[in-house]
Structure formats: structure tokens, C-alpha cells
């Protein structure tokens, strides 16, 4: 792939092919709900540790019993504890990376999805005020 000076690594990966379910427009992240000390704006989804219930959520339409790959870019991170994708799809919380850069996490949805939403949260072991800034989020059907 050539050109595209403003194409981030995550966007480049998304454009490489596969069946992507783009989970936000990457412009204003207005479809996200963020609880706790964080927010969603034109810069991405910022999740800030402030005790309990520090999470960001986005409604989705994933299919049951299907393998997906979440691709996301961590633009900034000071997280000193654990970062998770909540159990909405798999029945178990999935620990995911909060390291700066493009990250991937593969998961398989349950036979029945009762709460079809992507939810990230910071564990209670994170120091208050630490944060993660997420951008360029996409979910692919299958393994990428």
C-alpha cells in the first residue's frame, strides 16, 4: 500500500482486506458512552481510572458463535494496572493490551449474546488518574 501520510497503522490494517465491522466513524466517537472520569471526543475514547465503574461502551451487532478480531490503536496510555474487554461477548472478561501502538485481540462470541456491546474497563488495581486513549477501532469477522 502506498501513500496516505495521515493513514494510521490501524487504518492501514483495516484497509488491507477482510470483512470489517467499523465500530465508529473515527471522527468524533459520538456513539460511545463513557462512565467515570473519561470521555469520548474527536481525539478518541479516553478511559480514566477513578475508583470503580471506569468503562467505555458501544452498542454493536455481532453474531453468536462467531470468531472476531478486535483491532484498536492505543494512542496514549499511563495505565499501571489491568485493562479488559468485558464479558459481554464471551462470558469471561478478556484482558487486552494497553500498550501504545496497534493492538489485536481475537475472541469467539457465545451461543447467545444478551448484551451486544463492546465494553472496555480499567481494573480496580489501576491508580486513579491513569488513563488509556483508544482510536481507530474496528472488529473483523474471523482472525486477522
Cell reading at 66? 462467531
d(CA 140, CA 104): 10
Q: How confident is the model at residue 1 (pLDDT cuts 50, 70, 90)?
A: very low
What CATH superfamily classification does 18-141 receive? Galactose-binding domain-like (2.60.120.260)
d(CA 117, CA 61): 8
d(CA 93, CA 102): 20
Give pLDDT tens digits for 12-33: 444 444 455 556 555 678 889 9
d(CA 51, CA 135): 23
Tell me the pTM: 0.82
Helix (H, G, I), strand (E, B) or coil at 10: helix
Output Rg (C-alpha) for the chain, integer angstroms: 15
Residue extents of the structural domains in the chain = 18-141
Give pLDDT tens digits for 92-124: 999 999 999 999 999 999 999 988 999 999 988
What is the 3-state secondary structure of 11-34?
A: HHHHHCCCEEEECCCCCCCCCCEE
Count of residues making up the chain = 144
Amino acid at each position: 500500500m502506498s501513500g496516505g501520510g495521515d493513514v494510521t497503522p490501524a487504518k492501514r490494517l483495516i484497509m488491507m482486506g477482510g470483512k470489517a465491522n467499523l465500530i465508529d466513524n473515527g471522527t468524533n466517537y459520538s456513539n460511545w458512552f463513557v462512565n467515570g472520569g473519561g470521555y469520548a471526543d474527536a481525539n478518541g475514547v479516553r478511559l480514566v481510572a477513578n475508583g470503580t465503574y471506569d468503562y467505555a461502551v458501544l452498542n454493536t451487532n455481532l453474531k453468536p458463535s462467531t470468531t472476531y478480531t478486535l483491532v484498536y490503536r492505543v494512542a496514549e496510555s499511563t495505565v499501571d494496572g489491568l485493562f479488559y474487554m468485558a464479558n459481554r461477548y464471551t462470558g469471561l472478561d478478556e484482558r487486552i493490551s494497553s500498550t501504545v501502538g496497534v493492538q489485536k485481540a481475537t475472541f469467539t462470541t457465545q451461543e447467545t449474546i444478551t448484551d451486544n456491546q463492546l465494553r472496555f474497563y480499567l481494573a480496580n488495581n489501576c491508580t486513579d488518574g491513569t488513563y488509556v486513549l483508544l482510536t481507530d477501532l474496528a472488529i473483523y469477522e474471523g482472525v486477522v
